[in-house]
Amino acid sequence: MDFCRIWDEHVLKAKTLEQKAVAVTIDLCIQRGYLAEYLQEHRPEVEKIMMTMFSPEYVKMASERTEKIKEDISAYRFINVPEAQIKDAIIRRYDLTPTYAQNFLDDDSDPDDSRPWAL
């Protein structure tokens, strides 16, 4: 999950897929100890997979979906819906896991935080 979060921060935020974003993601994961041993051993394969796995269209779609989820959370909070109900609503509407939904809620709680989340 931490690997995905770092990936989201560096690729979806830029709304593009670049070799640099992949390299930064892998470097940060290794530095923070997320999949470090695996990434150090298999870095070239991971880079190749990540560059071929996500098309620019996919990145755009994921970014748009993230924005919709964040807009829903903001709207629910505006009308004072309890956090547990917001979580349940976004789980159902966007087919998220409870942990992923909670990550959206935690990430969206800081209005100055512009980090998007994928899928």
Residues 70 and 30 occupy one common structural domain:
no
Q: Which domain holds residue 38?
A: 2-54
The answer to whether the pTM exceeds 0.85 is no
Phi/psi class of residue 41: alpha, beta or left (left: φ > 0; alpha: ψ in -120 to 50)?
alpha
Residue that terminates a domain, selected from 38, 54, 70: 54
Percent of the chain with pLDDT over 70: 73
Same domain, 39 and 67: no
Let me know if residue 113 belongs to a domain: no
Domain count, the chain: 2
Length, in residues, of the chain? 119
* Other CB atoms within 10 Å distance of the CB of residue 9: 19
Decide if pLDDT at 106 tops 80.
Answer: yes
Are residues 33 and 62 both part of a single domain? no
pLDDT at 57: 74
